[in-house]
Amino acid sequence: MQEIRVSSWNELNECLYQESWQENLRRFRSPFAFRGVSSSRYELTTSLKRLGKTSDELERHILRSFRRYARREAVAEDSIWNWLALAQHHGLPTRLLDWTYSPYVAMHFATEDLEEFDTDGAIWCIDYYRTNQLLPGTLKALLAEEGANVNVFTAEMLSRAAKTLAEFDQLSDADFVIFFEPPSLDERIVNQFALFSCMSSPRASLHQWLRQHPDVCRRVIIPAELKWEVRDKLDQANITERVLYPGLDGLSRWLKRYYTPRRP
């Protein structure tokens, strides 16, 4: 896996927008999904995996309970993919990981925690054009049916391929990863320009899978000494908690961070 350590704001921008030019469209359209983390030590571990060794056995029980107790009108359509997106969005342990189309949103998540400003941050960049080439035939055909410009799944598309996670897990004997856009559940999903990654099994690790496919991913390291500059410039660009977490909670988080004095 390629790892790039940047040394300036301009270099960070250039690095994250690298490979965005699409000659066939004559437009800038990045093929990357981005995930910002406040510490470069953090691996790509799902909240489900963090439950422990029996997490794969717990997945169906947790989701079943969530669907039982949540209000039915919480999702527009009774689809496992809509329920899975809703569950992840509200903090339930799932096999999903949060990503964004926006390099600036990823920068925000790499620099929002002031307690981590003495450690390097990181932005993971995965080329979903390339991960799509490793999908099983059923999913490749589904993307092809939607047209050449469709490279990320929707919940509706995935429901056509697999109505349950058990069916999804049986699409291939080899591990793979998909990226799909959640429905616009609320302003937070929309403002964060969000999408999710989903592995082909609750036991599969995206971090380990990327080690086997290093050509689909790169990791950009934001040095600790650069974080304040990135953070201040993001604030001026209005990439803040106030925007990404609409409501009074997000407003309070932004003001608390914004007015916290910088330590000597």
Which sequence spans correspond to the domains of the chain?
A: 2-20+27-258
The answer to whether the CB of 106 falls within 8 A of the CB of 37 is: no
Q: How confident is the model at residue 3 (pLDDT cuts 50, 70, 90)?
A: very high
> For residue 70, what are its two tokens?
């949540």
Q: d(Cα 105, Cα 129) in Å, to the nearest integer? A: 21
Q: d(Cα 57, Cα 64) in Å, to the nearest integer? A: 12
Least confident range from 34-43, 140-149, 205-214, 219-228: namely: 140-149
The answer to whether the CB of 111 falls within 8 A of the CB of 230 is: yes
CB atoms under 10 Å from CB of 214, counted, come to 10
The answer to whether the CB of 44 falls within 8 A of the CB of 97 is: yes
pLDDT digits (tens, 9 = 90+) for 12-55: 999 999 999 988 889 999 999 999 999 999 999 999 999 987 87
Asked whether the predicted pLDDT for residue 56 surpasses 90, the reply is no
- Per-residue pLDDT, 177: 97
- Per-residue pLDDT, 38: 97
Q: d(Cα 150, Cα 142) in Å, to the nearest integer? A: 10
- DSSP assigned state of 34: E
pLDDT digits (tens, 9 = 90+) for 100-136: 999 999 999 999 999 999 999 999 999 999 999 999 9
Report the mean per-residue pLDDT for the chain: 93
- Per-residue pLDDT, 73: 63
CB atoms under 10 Å from CB of 136, counted, come to 16
- Pairing type for strands 217-222 and 2-5 reads parallel
- Per-residue pLDDT, 45: 94
- Per-residue pLDDT, 150: 78
Q: d(Cα 114, Cα 226) in Å, to the nearest integer? A: 13
- Per-residue pLDDT, 148: 61
Asked whether the predicted pLDDT for residue 75 surpasses 80, the reply is no
- Per-residue pLDDT, 247: 93
- Per-residue pLDDT, 160: 93
Q: How confident is the model at residue 263 (pLDDT cuts 50, 70, 90)?
A: confident
Average pLDDT over residues 49-63: 87
Asked whether the predicted pLDDT for residue 211 surpasses 90, the reply is yes
Q: d(Cα 39, Cα 111) in Å, to the nearest integer? A: 9
CA 217, 9, 99, 47 dihedral sign is positive
